[in-house]
C-alpha cells in the first residue's frame, strides 16, 4: 500500500510537471509567435489577394501589347479565324453551337461565354476582341502554373512565358484564336493544379475536398471539351502527381494508386460529361450537317508517317530543347522512382517538384506523337504545323526546365537553388520579351476590300470559295455584313445562310479559282448556277483587291420560263447512247436554254437542237460551257421555237456510269442577258 500510494503521488506529480512544462512551452511559443493563428490566416489571405492583384495588373498590361503584336492580319486572318467571330455574333442559340461550326473536335465553350456576354451588354464583336480575350486566357495560364509549381513558381512561370511568346515553331498557331490551344492550355493547367492538390497530403474528407474534386473535374471538362486529347493527357499527369505526392510524403499516407484514382476519377467524370455532350451533338436533335473527324488508323503508311514526323521535329528550331527535355525526363523518372522506393520523406522536395514538372511536360509532349503517326486525317491534312503545337510548347518547356533544374542542382551545393530558379525565370521573361515582334505591320488590304463591299452591297449574299467568304464577312460590321455562302464543293460551316442566296435579288460573287466556272483571273462569267440558283451578271468588277475580282449578279431563277422535261432533267442519264433530254417551252422567236451539271458528275459536251412549232427539229448546236454550266440560244426562222432536244457526248473515260446524271435545265427569255 505504501508503494502503491507513493506511486500514485509520483504519477500525479509527473502529470503536474508535464502540464506545467506544456504550459511553459505553449507560453513560450505564444510569446515567440509573430501573430496569433487568426492573424496568420488573415495575412495568408492578404498575401494571396496581393498576388492575384499583381497578376491581374500584369496581364492587363501585357495582354493588349501581345495581342497587337501577334494578331493575324492580311491573309493570315482567314476564314478559319472568321468562324469564331461569326459564332460569337450569332443571335440564335442551338446545340450545333457547342462545337466549332461544322466540326466535332473543337469545343466552343469560350465562344458561347463571349456570345452571352455580348448579348447581355450589347457589344459588337470583331477579331481584335476575340484575339485579346484569347491572349488574356493564355496569360492566365502563366499565373496558374506559378501557383501549381510551388517552389518552382518563378522558374516555371518565367520559362513558360518565354515559350509562349518566343518559340517561333508554335507561336503563330498558339496565338491564332481559331485554334484550340490557347483555350486548352490554361484549362489543362487548372486541372493539373487541382490534381496536385488532390494528390498531396492525407486526403481528409470534407466539403472542401468535394469542392476541390468538383473544380478539378470542371477544369478537366473544359480542357477535354476544347480538345478530346486532353483527357488522356491529364490521366498521365495524375499518375505523375500521385508518384510525386507519395515521394514527398514518404512512407506515410495514401498509396500511389489511391492518390492517382482520385485525380483519375475527376478526369473520368469530365470525359463522360463531354461524351454525353458529343452524343447529343451527333443525334438528329441537332439537325445540321457537320464534318465528323476521322479516327481511322492510317494502315500502310505508319512507317512513312513516323519518318515524316521525325523529320519535321528534327528541322524545327525547338529540336535541341526537345532532346534536352527527353534527357531530363529520363533523369526525372529515375529520381522519382528512387524517392518512391526509399520510403522516407524527402529532405529536398524542390528536386522532386522539378522532376515532376519536367516529366509531366515531357509526357504531354510525347503523347502527341502516336496520334500524329496513327491517324489518317493527319496525313490527309499534310501534317500541318498546327498538329505539332503542343509538342513544341510542352517539349521546349521541358527542355528549359531541365536546364534550370541542372543549374539549381549546381547552386544547391552553396544553398543557392532558390536564387538559381528565380534567375532562370527572369532570364526567360527577358528572352521572351526580346523575341516579341513589332506590332506595326502595315495596312490590311483585305479589310479595305471588305469595307468597300459592305458599302456597295450591305447585307447581300457573298458567293465564293471557303477562303473568300467568311473571312470578308467577319471583317465587316455585324448589322451590315455580307452573308457568306461558299460555292458548291467547298466547306459550308453555316448551312442556314444558303437560303439567303435563293431569297435575295442580288448577290456579290468573288471570281476565285476555288469555284468551278467562276472565271478566276479573267472576265467574270455571264451566268453562274449555284445551290439551285441561277445568277446573271449585272455589274461586273465592282471591287478589285486581295487578288480577287468582285461582281454583282442578279438572281433570275424566278424569271425562268415554265417548261416540261422528258425525262425529268435530274434523272436524265446523259452518258447512255442515244439518250436525249426533251424540253417543251412557250412559243417564241428566240429562247435561251441553260443546263447545269451537278457537282462531281461526268464531264461532257452538250448539244441543243431547236424544236419548232411545225414539228420539225433544227440542227444541233454545241452549247457554250463555263465550268459545269452550258448555254445556247435557239432561234426560230419560219416557225416559233417550242422546245429543245439536248444530247450529250461524254468526255472519256467514263469511270462511273452512275455519275452521268443530275442536271438542272432552265429556259430563260433572250432579253435576260447574253
Contacts of 383 (CB under 8 A, 6+ apart): 308, 309, 312, 372
CATH 3.30.420 for the 560-672 domain, yes or no: no
Question: What is the average pLDDT across 356-368?
Answer: 97
Q: What is the pLDDT of residues 483-505, one digit of tens each?
A: 999 999 998 999 999 999 999 99
What nine digits make up the cell of 124? 459588337
- For position 587, what pLDDT does the model report? 93
Q: What is the pLDDT of residues 547-597, one digit of tens each?
A: 899 999 999 999 999 999 999 999 999 999 889 999 999 999 999 999 999
- For position 75, what pLDDT does the model report? 79
**Domain boundary assignment for the chain:** 54-434, 448-558, 560-672
Contacts of 3 (CB under 8 A, 6+ apart): none
The answer on pLDDT for 329 being more than 90 is yes
The answer on pLDDT for 443 being more than 80 is no
Contact 610, 634 (CB under 8 A): yes
Please work out, in degrees rounded to the nearest 5, the angle formed at the alpha carbon of residue 92 by the alpha carbons of 91 and 97: 110
Question: What is the average pLDDT across 170-185?
Answer: 93
Question: What is the average pLDDT across 595-620?
Answer: 93
The 10 Å Cβ neighbour count of residue 311 is: 11
Within 13 Å, how many C-alpha atoms sit on residue 122's CB side? Answer: 0
Among 493, 462, 458, 460, residue whose Cα is nearest residue 477: 458
- DSSP-derived 3-state class of residue 442: coil
Residue 441 pLDDT grade (very low, low, confident, very high; cuts 50, 70, 90) = low
Q: What is the pLDDT of residues 205-235, one digit of tens each?
A: 888 899 999 999 999 999 999 999 999 999 9
**What's the CA gap between 248 and 246, in Å, rounded?**
6
What nine digits make up the cell of 173? 498557331
- The chain-wide mean pLDDT, for the chain, equals 89
Q: How many residues does the chain have?
A: 674
Q: What strands lie across the sheet with 564-566, from one edge to the other? A: 564-566, 580-588, 641-650, 604-612, 621-622
Residue 74 pLDDT grade (very low, low, confident, very high; cuts 50, 70, 90) = confident
- For position 671, what pLDDT does the model report? 65
- For position 17, what pLDDT does the model report? 46
Q: What is the pLDDT of residues 232-251, one digit of tens each?
A: 999 999 999 999 999 988 76
Question: What is the average pLDDT across 369-396?
Answer: 95
Contact 515, 464 (CB under 8 A): yes
Dihedral angle sign, alpha carbons of residues 426, 429, 432, 434 = negative
Question: What is the average pLDDT across 514-539?
Answer: 89
Percent share of the chain, pLDDT over 90: 72
- For position 48, what pLDDT does the model report? 83
Among 554, 592, 531, 601, residue whose Cα is nearest residue 573: 601
- For position 249, what pLDDT does the model report? 85
Question: What is the average pLDDT across 288-296?
Answer: 82
Residue 457 pLDDT grade (very low, low, confident, very high; cuts 50, 70, 90) = very high
State pTM to two decimals: 0.87
Please work out, in degrees rounded to the nearest 5, the angle formed at the alpha carbon of residue 636 by the alpha carbons of 635 and 637: 120
Query: Distance between alpha carbon 490 and the CA centroid of its chain, in Å?
Result: 19
Amino acid at each position: 500500500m505504501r508503494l502503491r500510494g507513493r506511486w500514485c503521488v509520483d504519477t500525479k506529480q509527473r502529470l503536474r510537471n508535464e502540464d506545467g512544462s506544456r504550459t511553459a512551452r505553449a507560453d513560450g511559443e505564444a510569446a515567440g509567435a509573430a501573430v496569433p493563428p487568426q492573424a496568420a490566416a488573415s495575412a495568408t489571405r492578404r498575401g494571396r489577394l496581393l498576388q492575384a492583384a499583381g497578376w491581374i495588373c500584369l496581364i492587363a498590361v501585357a495582354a493588349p501589347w501581345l495581342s497587337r503584336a501577334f494578331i493575324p492580319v492580311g491573309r493570315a486572318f482567314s476564314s478559319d479565324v472568321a468562324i469564331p467571330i461569326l459564332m460569337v455574333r450569332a443571335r440564335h442559340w442551338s446545340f450545333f453551337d457547342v462545337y466549332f461550326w461544322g466540326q466535332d473536335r473543337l469545343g466552343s465553350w469560350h465562344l458561347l461565354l463571349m456570345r452571352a456576354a455580348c448579348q447581355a451588354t450589347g457589344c459588337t464583336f470583331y477579331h481584335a476582341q476575340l484575339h485579346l480575350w484569347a491572349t488574356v486566357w493564355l496569360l492566365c495560364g502563366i499565373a496558374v502554373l506559378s501557383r501549381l509549381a510551388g517552389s518552382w513558381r518563378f522558374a516555371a512561370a518565367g520559362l513558360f512565358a518565354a515559350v509562349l511568346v518566343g518559340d517561333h515553331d508554335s507561336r503563330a498557331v498558339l496565338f491564332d484564336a481559331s485554334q484550340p490551344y490557347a483555350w486548352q492550355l490554361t484549362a489543362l493547367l487548372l486541372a493539373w493544379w487541382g490534381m496536385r492538390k488532390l494528390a498531396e497530403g492525407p486526403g481528409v474528407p470534407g466539403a472542401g475536398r468535394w469542392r476541390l474534386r468538383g473544380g478539378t473535374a470542371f477544369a478537366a471538362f473544359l480542357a477535354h471539351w476544347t480538345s478530346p486529347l486532353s483527357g488522356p493527357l491529364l490521366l498521365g499527369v495524375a499518375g505523375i502527381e500521385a508518384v510525386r505526392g507519395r515521394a514527398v510524403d514518404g512512407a506515410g499516407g495514401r498509396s500511389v494508386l489511391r492518390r492517382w484514382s482520385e485525380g483519375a476519377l475527376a478526369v473520368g467524370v469530365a470525359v463522360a460529361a463531354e461524351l454525353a455532350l458529343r452524343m447529343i451533338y451527333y443525334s438528329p436533335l441537332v439537325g445540321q450537317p457537320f464534318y465528323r473527324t476521322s479516327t481511322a488508323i492510317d494502315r500502310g503508311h505508319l512507317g512513312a508517317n513516323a519518318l515524316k514526323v521525325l523529320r519535321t521535329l528534327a528541322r524545327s528550331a525547338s529540336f535541341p530543347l526537345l532532346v534536352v527535355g527527353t534527357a531530363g525526363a529520363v533523369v526525372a523518372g529515375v529520381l522519382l522512382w528512387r524517392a518512391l522506393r526509399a520510403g522516407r520523406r524527402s529532405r529536398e522536395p524542390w528536386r522532386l517538384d522539378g522532376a515532376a514538372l519536367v516529366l509531366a511536360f515531357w509526357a504531354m509532349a510525347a503523347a502527341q506523337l502516336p496520334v500524329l503517326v496513327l491517324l489518317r486525317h493527319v496525313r490527309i491534312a499534310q501534317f500541318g504545323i498546327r498538329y505539332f503545337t503542343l509538342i513544341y510548347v510542352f517539349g521546349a518547356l521541358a527542355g528549359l526546365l531541365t536546364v534550370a533544374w541542372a543549374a539549381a542542382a549546381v547552386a544547391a551545393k552553396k544553398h543557392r537553388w532558390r536564387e538559381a530558379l528565380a534567375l532562370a525565370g527572369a532570364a526567360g521573361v527577358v528572352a521572351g520579351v526580346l523575341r516579341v515582334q513589332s506590332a506595326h505591320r502595315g495596312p490590311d488590304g483585305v479589310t479595305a476590300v471588305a469595307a468597300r463591299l459592305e458599302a456597295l452591297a450591305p447585307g447581300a449574299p457573298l458567293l465564293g470559295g471557303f477562303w473568300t467568304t467568311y473571312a470578308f464577312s467577319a471583317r465587316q460590321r455585324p448589322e451590315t455584313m455580307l452573308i457568306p455562302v461558299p460555292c458548291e464543293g467547298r466547306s459550308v460551316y453555316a448551312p442556314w445562310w444558303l437560303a439567303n442566296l435563293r431569297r435575295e435579288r442580288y448577290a456579290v460573287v468573288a471570281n476565285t479559282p476555288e469555284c468551278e466556272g467562276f472565271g478566276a483571273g479573267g472576265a467574270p462569267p455571264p451566268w453562274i448556277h449555284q445551290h439551285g440558283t441561277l445568277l446573271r451578271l449585272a455589274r461586273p468588277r465592282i471591287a478589285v483587291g486581295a487578288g480577287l475580282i468582285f461582281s454583282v449578279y442578279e438572281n433570275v431563277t424566278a424569271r425562268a420560263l415554265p417548261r416540261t422535261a422528258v425525262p425529268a432533267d435530274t434523272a436524265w442519264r446523259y452518258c447512255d447512247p442515244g439518250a436525249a433530254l426533251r424540253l417543251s417551252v412557250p412559243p417564241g422567236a428566240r429562247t435561251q436554254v441553260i443546263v447545269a451539271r451537278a457537282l462531281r458528275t461526268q464531264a461532257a459536251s452538250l448539244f441543243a437542237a431547236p424544236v419548232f412549232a411545225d414539228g420539225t427539229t433544227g440542227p444541233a448546236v454545241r452549247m457554250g460551257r463555263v465550268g459545269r454550266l452550258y448555254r445556247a440560244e435557239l432561234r426560230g426562222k419560219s416557225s416559233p421555237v417550242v422546245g429543245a432536244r439536248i444530247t450529250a457526248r461524254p468526255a472519256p473515260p467514263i469511270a462511273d456510269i452512275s455519275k452521268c446524271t443530275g442536271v438542272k435545265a432552265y429556259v430563260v427569255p433572250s432579253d435576260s442577258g447574253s
